[in-house]
Amino acid sequence: MSSSNTSVNDNQNYNVYGYTPLRGANLAALIVFAIAWAAHSGLAVLYRQIWFGTCLFIAVGLETAGYIGRFISSSNPTILNDFLVQIICLTLGPAFFMAGTYYLLAEIVVIWGVEYSRFKPWTYSKIFISLDLISIVLQALGGGMAATALVQNKNVDTGTHIMVGGLAFQVFATTVFMALCFDFYWTRRKRLGRGSESSYVPNFQQNHISQASEGPEEYAHIRNSKKSKIFLFALGASIIFVYVRSIYRVAELSVGWTGYLMTEEGYFLVLDTLMVAIAVWILLPFYPGFFLGRVQLSAVTSAAKSSSASGEDEKV
């Protein structure tokens, strides 16, 4: 691409990357993500993590496909199809990763105490998964439009702007999500510390909560486990790594297809490859099913039904 507001060079040998992808680095990334893909798939089946497992299967699968494209491009960076495979797959992959983690907050709220949440457990999942789907659609639409324009040697700006919009929307959703996670943590800590009823209690819980409690007794073994607390920190770290990557991708596309962030592979390898790889691999030794058990269907669903059956459907 000759610039962010022009079409692709007519030369069929034009290097769309602006550099030749490093063969060794991209092969290493391919191997890292391929192993993680197989491992996440196996753990999803073992722990019956239906939603989280499916999202990570798609996310890490897209990452693997993206690095296949980059590895092939290391031999010939002028082949357009290989470039399109990597740019689309590596743009969409982290969005599916976040869709999986959004679901986990509902489980965490149920286990650590619904009374400390500003929303019903299922509401978190519905809101943020919906926002993530919007982000995925925008990124896919923009990527498709940019790819079509690229193939037809036309202006790629419209598709690029939509991709940036989708990425920016993802950053926004993740920011709100992290703020609500911290709010849940801080509200729980404050109320348990005071041991009184004076702290904030959400509307949908006011008829049920008479005093601060640790959470449902049936999940006390999870809350009291040191490894579960470590898991929460690991999950938070993985989200932050993907968050950093998403900010980088917004900046990368914003400066244009021939900007310094797009044409210097070093930035990409550190701020995209490394960030996503760490996030994905953190959740292998700290896999949710290992720490939370197989509670995602029974706990979240029963909590949602319970609050609905009580007639507490008012908005917070």
Where do the domains of the chain lie?
Answer: 23-197+213-304
pLDDT beyond 70 at 231: yes
- Identify the residue whose tokens are 């040697």: 153
Closest C-alpha to 242, from 184, 166, 182, 167: 167
- Average the pLDDT over 117-139 and give the result: 87
pLDDT beyond 80 at 309: no
Measured between alpha carbons, how far is residue 69 from residues 29, 37, 81, 244, 263 in Å?
11, 16, 8, 23, 17
- How many CA atoms lie within 13 Å of 63's alpha carbon, on the beta-carbon side? 34
- Average the pLDDT over 171-175 and give the result: 94
Per-residue confidence (pLDDT) for residue 313, from 0 to 100? 41
- Average the pLDDT over 13-32 and give the result: 91
The mean-pLDDT minimum among 26-30, 66-70, 262-266, 309-313 falls in 309-313
pLDDT beyond 60 at 11: no
Per-residue confidence (pLDDT) for residue 49, from 0 to 100? 83
Per-residue confidence (pLDDT) for residue 7, from 0 to 100? 44
Per-residue confidence (pLDDT) for residue 167, from 0 to 100? 92
Measured between alpha carbons, how far is residue 192 from residues 120, 211, 252 in Å?
20, 9, 44
pLDDT beyond 60 at 33: yes
Per-residue confidence (pLDDT) for residue 303, from 0 to 100? 52
pLDDT tens digit string along 46-78?
A: 988 888 999 999 999 999 999 999 999 999 998
User: Which residues lie below 8 Å from residue 45, measured CB to CB, with a gap of 6+?
Assistant: 53
Please check whether residue 181 is in contact with residue 116, taking contact to mean a CB–CB distance below 8 angstroms.
no
The residue that leads in pLDDT, 73 or 116, is 73
Q: Of 13-17, 80-84, 265-269, 304-308, where does the model show the most confidence? A: 265-269
**pLDDT, averaged across the chain:** 82
- The pTM of the full predicted model, rounded to 2 decimals, is 0.82
Per-residue confidence (pLDDT) for residue 107, from 0 to 100? 84
Q: How confident is the model at residue 233 (pLDDT cuts 50, 70, 90)?
A: very high
The residue that leads in pLDDT, 253 or 202, is 253
- Identify the residue whose tokens are 């009184």: 196
- Average the pLDDT over 41-45 and give the result: 94
* Secondary-structure breakdown of the chain: helix, strand, coil percentages, each rounded to the nearest 5: 75, 0, 25
- Average the pLDDT over 268-295 and give the result: 90
Please check whether residue 72 is in contact with residue 82, taking contact to mean a CB–CB distance below 8 angstroms.
yes
Per-residue confidence (pLDDT) for residue 276, from 0 to 100? 97
Per-residue confidence (pLDDT) for residue 86, from 0 to 100? 93
The residue that leads in pLDDT, 61 or 301, is 61
Torsion angle, CA of 15/18/20/21, rounded to 10 degrees? -120
Per-residue confidence (pLDDT) for residue 65, from 0 to 100? 97
The alpha carbon dihedral of 263, 18, 9, 140 has a sign of: negative
Per-residue confidence (pLDDT) for residue 53, from 0 to 100? 92
Per-residue confidence (pLDDT) for residue 251, from 0 to 100? 93
Fold type of domain 23-197+213-304? Rhopdopsin 7-helix transmembrane proteins (1.20.1070)
Per-residue confidence (pLDDT) for residue 221, from 0 to 100? 82
> What percent of the chain lies above the pLDDT cut of 90?
44
Per-residue confidence (pLDDT) for residue 145, from 0 to 100? 85
Per-residue confidence (pLDDT) for residue 57, from 0 to 100? 96
Per-residue confidence (pLDDT) for residue 306, from 0 to 100? 54
pLDDT beyond 70 at 194: no
